[in-house]
Amino acid sequence: MTLRIGVIGTGAIGQDHIRRITNTLSGAKIVAVTDVNAEQAAAVIKNLNLDAKIYANGLELIKSDHVDAILVTSWGPTHEEFVLASIAAGKPVFCEKPLATSAAGCMRIVEAEIAHGKRLVQVGFMRPYDNGYRALKDVLAHGKIGEPLMVHCAHRNPSVGDSYTTDMAITDTIIHEIDVLRWLLDDDYVSVQVVYPRKTKNASGHLADPQIVLMETAKGIRVDVEIFVNCQYGYDIQCEVVGETGVARLPEPASVPMRSQARLSTEILTDWKLRFIDAYDVEIQGFIDTVNDGRLSGPSAWDGYAAAVTADACLEAQKTGDIVPVTLQQKPAFYKN
Amino acid sequence: MTLRIGVIGTGAIGQDHIRRITNTLSGAKIVAVTDVNAEQAAAVIKNLNLDAKIYANGLELIKSDHVDAILVTSWGPTHEEFVLASIAAGKPVFCEKPLATSAAGCMRIVEAEIAHGKRLVQVGFMRPYDNGYRALKDVLAHGKIGEPLMVHCAHRNPSVGDSYTTDMAITDTIIHEIDVLRWLLDDDYVSVQVVYPRKTKNASGHLADPQIVLMETAKGIRVDVEIFVNCQYGYDIQCEVVGETGVARLPEPASVPMRSQARLSTEILTDWKLRFIDAYDVEIQGFIDTVNDGRLSGPSAWDGYAAAVTADACLEAQKTGDIVPVTLQQKPAFYKN
Amino acid sequence: MTLRIGVIGTGAIGQDHIRRITNTLSGAKIVAVTDVNAEQAAAVIKNLNLDAKIYANGLELIKSDHVDAILVTSWGPTHEEFVLASIAAGKPVFCEKPLATSAAGCMRIVEAEIAHGKRLVQVGFMRPYDNGYRALKDVLAHGKIGEPLMVHCAHRNPSVGDSYTTDMAITDTIIHEIDVLRWLLDDDYVSVQVVYPRKTKNASGHLADPQIVLMETAKGIRVDVEIFVNCQYGYDIQCEVVGETGVARLPEPASVPMRSQARLSTEILTDWKLRFIDAYDVEIQGFIDTVNDGRLSGPSAWDGYAAAVTADACLEAQKTGDIVPVTLQQKPAFYKN
Amino acid sequence: MTLRIGVIGTGAIGQDHIRRITNTLSGAKIVAVTDVNAEQAAAVIKNLNLDAKIYANGLELIKSDHVDAILVTSWGPTHEEFVLASIAAGKPVFCEKPLATSAAGCMRIVEAEIAHGKRLVQVGFMRPYDNGYRALKDVLAHGKIGEPLMVHCAHRNPSVGDSYTTDMAITDTIIHEIDVLRWLLDDDYVSVQVVYPRKTKNASGHLADPQIVLMETAKGIRVDVEIFVNCQYGYDIQCEVVGETGVARLPEPASVPMRSQARLSTEILTDWKLRFIDAYDVEIQGFIDTVNDGRLSGPSAWDGYAAAVTADACLEAQKTGDIVPVTLQQKPAFYKN
């Protein structure tokens, strides 16, 4: 069985997904594309040698009888509309983050999906598909370090452009930790706090960098995440879980140990795209396989909602310096495992 | 374009390849199978839900108009016949090791392929497709440790059964290092020597374990390979290249660093199948892609021949204790890059 | 020149120092001891085969013409009196922590020493004498990671007895980080906060364990210290400094890397006494050498005062949950380098 | 009790020992020195502020009533004479390597010491005093990796001057491995072989560099030692012991792990003097303590003899390319533990 996929938005990430579905993954093919820039959509079809039709807009594509499932990789503010339309059409939809630009928007999707009665939405959080995080979760699941008590994280980029603003540390950067730690710990946040260390001289004048976000979960686990987007030395994702009987860490990406020039060293990646490149493959293959099997199971609309609410609390904490509560609605039975 | 593949031999490795071509890889499908045990072939088709035809024997399968390319995963002594028949039919063939059970057999394949005029044969050496070895080759290619002078290797298995005999240290174990180091160093062996350390008490009475194989290449590089197939602690593949200005090592497989019970530790695999599982995917995808593109480029019949000649010299060195020359025929221009 | 040392307090730590001065270090000898338990003092002289006199009490010992310098290793509440008496006698004194049981007591010592006009007091903070911390400070001093912005620490013990109370996390445990980070960063704290993660089931009912102390320095550096005294797996001291261009970490104690039972591992110490055993030697030798040279330079009475004030703020933060300011008096010119 | 030591030879290593005995170690003092360059001896006394007498020559110094024990740090060819004279005087003697310039010379010392009836001689092999090697021996002694079967070593220097000749790879470089592995394994060599890898372009024209020495012990353990004295990148001593159930490695010297410029790295030493600097302290303190206790126990004259015989075999193997037997005399009961 081959899943016929339509792609809304043929920018960088859209093209990446088209390429992997066409050349690397199995069980699906791209049959439809659309973009606000119709020329770009046409160019993508031509360059990637696709046997796909161009649609006038996302809503047309969603309705097409030739399309079984939808990939939403368009501009963030359009996500909610396309996801809701996909649900209305009863078609599975993979939506890159953000699911919607507000928690309320996410909740509308949650409600629509529940009304439909069956899971149709997967949000594009890829870290749960990373081998390293999976191995870490496996360590926890097997009780090898006991119950988790604390998590120490760092999210470091070598540098960001001048357009990166202080709030993006939440919406673009720590949003990944917010999601993956919920999944890793099977827990939700109850409060957040943001503190500002001494600022690096390598950040733009308007940007607070680094920042530290302190979070507490419903189980009482304390999470601290250092966000440092001008760390200069590399793209470096650290995650250490301290449990009752031991400590486990996210593996470093495999690299050739070298002895050279009086140093014993391994490489640290500098390009974030390379860090989780394998995870994207697993993520999209997972979407295809679970849709084909009728048991969609990746990050859900509820996960998108929970991340949005937590991010909103972090944004408030950035401004006030206070410990800000994270108030989620009651989790619907629909989303319980 | 979808490559239609026929598989000769539906044992464990045959089934693995069928599964990955069907479920994981892209660009090919299994359309034909055969096995000396016809019932097993039928069961494989049923269990894996294949749309494939059963053929009476390998030669029939090779001749079929519905088959574009052949996978030979049958019993070793049958390989030569099926590979030669594939060449005769002008069809690309992927043959698991050994290419043939003798150097002379390998040479007959080399000659048939040259006579055909175009590469059709890929031998199933998968280590050049391993990310770790590729990263190591990349380090060498970029001159990061200068010209290689020495290579220190270890090939350790936790244990082997009583059926594993002393010569299998060459034909089943170090054969992988023989191949991958030729590729890594772009070099050939000129002599080999085998020495026997103190025997472990955990080996069968008839088995010399561990063994050390010392090899010299045409460029003068000295290679030592420890073979220790009852090392108890894990499946462990080590490779260290010492160059004129630095040293580079094969990366350890990524693993969660844990602090527990007074040890800081990572896991060592114990199942050899897991060590290169990703490499098998890349290898077979590489075969599919390069066949589809008409530029087959993986381990060649010549590589199979060179490995066979080197292994023969090692077997003699095992018996005599002497430094045994490795005498390859002149490499045909056909196989030069 | 041989420094004649008198020791007040012949308990465990006192005996350790007597032993190292007698057997391992150079330039000093033990000539006088005293203890509230005179029999124990006599036993120590006999067991360690010392040529030393027993004094009736600390004040007698301090006054003796045969004593050049004093080691105070008695019960904490007696420290202030003996240090003040040593200053009054114009004799160099090494005092184990705490310098005094209150910040006010420390300040009385500071004032007495300044009135004397020359440094006489060294406080027993040994971590600045540890090779690892020294190497870390060297990395900072050479600008190898740029200006420090954040410090992430952990102080973990395998377990503590029932007598260990929540406040001892400050007074007995993090007091070492409080001191060594002041030295490492050449900075002072301006505020502290304490948060309580989910409690481990392995702690006594009355004990909050783990705890996280968040500190800010005058330069704006953010420090977080995880205190986890029932971590089960080992005695583990972690310190990571994040600078503007890189990150540096306290080295793990050297240990034999082993491959065994499917793990690649090194040992983690479980006995805290072994972790800094070399540092004690360097510390006491440093006291002897700098006293003999007339240029006493180790952790000063001011350092003892600053640690006491910071610890007091932490104790308040433990109780209130607030961000508590750390208010030090103006640092006297006497203590500037 | 203070051991009164006389030093014969006040060159670099002699001065180092004088300095550590005077400033760092306990239980001994330098009371006598002599050197073929009397002015240098006088300068050393002055510069190090010693209360020591200058003697006309080594034999005078050995005979002096004021000297309890002798340190021989003079030119190699003079060692035998001074050690024999010390034995004749019944005085303990620490002799830097070589004990004598020939195996026959070493044997004369062995015979003299046996005739004297009590151990008086310690040879200056310092690696058994290195914490890393001691920890490795401890792992073996506790059976943590089972019986040792193989040892893989490397001895790498960043570079050597033009005066370093091919035979010095044996007499100056691998001599340390020859000794320390005898101690580590509690074993003796029975044969040696030398092979020459491709030569580095960074070596002098006359020098074979690198070299690999292959040794077999009486227990059948196979040892390979890579000697590479122009490796450019650092002074690097590697030792890996493969046992029946696991593998143990000499620890890397502790170093600050740094993340900087896209590398995660630790430092590799480049100055050999720093690598074993702590071991020298332990070694000489061990000599002082065991002499003072009348139970001298470090590397013995027999160890010096065994190293000399093995080195001679290696020198022959360098020239012939053959597997050369190592023929030791029967070990006298005198030297058995």
D311-325 confidence digits (pLDDT tens): 999 999 999 999 999
Which CATH number, 3.40.50.2300, 2.40.170.20, 1.20.1440.230, 3.30.360.10, labels domain D128-271+306-335? 3.30.360.10
Taking 70 as the threshold, does the pLDDT of residue C297 lie above it? yes
Instruction: Identify which of D66, D61, D68 has the alpha carbon closest to the alpha carbon of residue D82.
Output: D61
What is the Rg, in whole angstroms, of the alpha carbon atoms belonging to chain C? 20
CB contact under 8 A, C198 and A212: no
The shortest C-alpha distance from A131 to chain D (Å) reads: 21
In chain C, the residue whose alpha carbon lies closest to the alpha carbon of D137 is C256
- CB-nearest to C247 from D136, D246, D259 is D259
Instruction: Identify which of B161, B177, B173, B327 has the alpha carbon closest to the alpha carbon of residue B250.
Output: B177
pLDDT for A236: 98
Taking 80 as the threshold, does the pLDDT of residue C123 lie above it? yes
pLDDT for D336: 82
Q: B-chain residues within 8 Å CB-CB of C261?
A: 233
DSSP A76: G
pLDDT for B326: 98
Fold (topology level) of A128-272+306-335: Dihydrodipicolinate Reductase; domain 2 (3.30.360)
Taking 70 as the threshold, does the pLDDT of residue A216 lie above it? yes
CB contact under 8 A, C149 and A222: no
pLDDT tens digits along A42-78? 999 999 999 999 999 999 999 999 999 999 999 999 9
Cα C91 to Cα C328: distance, rounded to the nearest angstrom: 27
Cα B198 to Cα C118: distance, rounded to the nearest angstrom: 67
A45: Cβ contacts below 8 Å, ≥ 6 apart: A33, A52, A54
D240 and chain B in contact, CB less than 8 A = no
Instruction: Identify which of C245, C255, D321 has the alpha carbon closest to the alpha carbon of residue B323.
Output: D321
Taking 90 as the threshold, does the pLDDT of residue B60 lie above it? yes
CB contact under 8 A, B244 and D232: yes
pLDDT for C91: 98
Taking 70 as the threshold, does the pLDDT of residue D337 lie above it? no
CB contact under 8 A, B198 and D224: no
Mean pLDDT estimate for chain A: 96
What mean pLDDT do residues D183-188 have? 97
How crowded is the C-beta side of C285, counted as CA atoms within 13 Å? Answer: 17
CB contact under 8 A, A222 and C195: yes
The shortest C-alpha distance from C184 to chain B (Å) reads: 26
pLDDT for D198: 98
pLDDT tens digits along C10-66? 999 999 999 999 988 999 999 999 999 999 999 999 999 999 999 999 999 999 999
CB contact under 8 A, C152 and A210: no
A286 and chain B in contact, CB less than 8 A = no
Instruction: Identify which of D96, D47, D41 has the alpha carbon closest to the alpha carbon of residue D72.
Output: D96
- CB-nearest to A270 from D233, D262, D270 is D262
CB contact under 8 A, D232 and B226: no
Sign of CA dihedral D268, D273, D278, D282: positive
What Cα–Cα distance (Å) separates residue B295 from each residue in B278, B286, D244?
22, 10, 47
B269 and chain C in contact, CB less than 8 A = yes
pLDDT tens digits along D121-133? 999 999 999 999 9
CB contact under 8 A, C247 and D258: yes
D224 and chain B in contact, CB less than 8 A = yes
Residues 181-210 of B with CB under 8 A from A: none
The token duo for D298 is: 């470090």
Cα A319 to Cα D137: distance, rounded to the nearest angstrom: 59
The shortest C-alpha distance from A238 to chain D (Å) reads: 12
The token duo for D241 is: 């012991």
Helices D79-88 and D103-116 sit at what angle, rounded to 10 degrees?
Answer: 10
CB contact under 8 A, B261 and C236: no
**Residue C337 — very low, low, confident or very high, per pLDDT cuts 50/70/90?**
low
Q: C-chain residues within 8 Å CB-CB of D260?
A: 144-145, 245-247
Taking 70 as the threshold, does the pLDDT of residue B337 lie above it? no
Question: Between chain A and chain D, how many beta carbons pairs sit less than 8 Å apart?
Answer: 46
Instruction: Return the ∠ at Cα A1 (arms to A87 and A300), rounded to 5°.
Output: 35
Give the range among A204-208, A246-250, C279-283, C333-337 with minimum mean pLDDT.
Answer: C333-337
D2 and chain C in contact, CB less than 8 A = no
**Residue B336 — very low, low, confident or very high, per pLDDT cuts 50/70/90?**
confident
| Residues above pLDDT 90, as percent of chain D | 98
Interface test with C, best of D24, D256, D263, D282 (most C CBs within 10 A): D256
The shortest C-alpha distance from B218 to chain D (Å) reads: 10
Taking 80 as the threshold, does the pLDDT of residue C258 lie above it? yes
What Cα–Cα distance (Å) separates residue B333 from each residue in B100, B302, C206?
22, 11, 81
User: Could you say which architecture CATH assigns to the domain B130-270+306-311+321-335?
Assistant: 2-Layer Sandwich (3.30)
Cα B314 to Cα C284: distance, rounded to the nearest angstrom: 61
**Residue B144 — very low, low, confident or very high, per pLDDT cuts 50/70/90?**
very high
Main-chain dihedrals φ then ψ at residue D80, nearest 5 degrees: -55, -50
D143 and chain B in contact, CB less than 8 A = no
Is there a contact between A267 and D262 (Cβ–Cβ < 8 Å)? yes
DSSP C149: E
Cα D295 to Cα D89: distance, rounded to the nearest angstrom: 18
CB contact under 8 A, D257 and C248: yes
What mean pLDDT do residues D83-103 have? 97
**Residue A336 — very low, low, confident or very high, per pLDDT cuts 50/70/90?**
confident
| Global pTM value | 0.96
SS (H, E, C) C159-226: CCCCCCCCCHHHHHHHHHHHHHHHHHHCCCEEEEEEECCCCCCCCCCCCCCCEEEEEEECCCCEEEEE
The class of domain B3-123 in CATH terms is alpha beta
- CB-nearest to D245 from C26, C246, C260 is C260
pLDDT for B215: 98
Q: Count Cβ atoms below 10 Å from residue D264 Cβ, excluding itself.
A: 22
Mean pLDDT estimate for chain D: 96
Q: D-chain residues within 8 Å CB-CB of C132?
A: 254, 256
Mean pLDDT estimate for chain B: 96
Instruction: Identify which of D137, D147, D148 has the alpha carbon closest to the alpha carbon of residue D183.
Output: D137
What mean pLDDT do residues C290-303 have? 95
At the fourth CATH level, the homologous superfamily of domain A3-124 is: NAD(P)-binding Rossmann-like Domain (3.40.50.720)
CB contact under 8 A, C233 and B261: yes
Taking 70 as the threshold, does the pLDDT of residue A219 lie above it? yes
CB contact under 8 A, C248 and D254: no
pLDDT for A337: 62
Cα C27 to Cα D29: distance, rounded to the nearest angstrom: 11
Q: C-chain residues within 8 Å CB-CB of A263?
A: none
What mean pLDDT do residues A87-116 have? 97
Give the containing element (helix H, strand E) for A115: helix A103-116
Domain borders along chain C are 3-123, 131-269+306-335
Instruction: Return the ∠ at Cα B214 (arms to B201 and B107), rounded to 5°.
Output: 110
pLDDT tens digits along B178-232? 999 999 999 999 999 999 999 999 999 999 999 999 999 999 999 999 999 999 9
At the fourth CATH level, the homologous superfamily of domain C131-269+306-335 is: Dihydrodipicolinate Reductase; domain 2 (3.30.360.10)
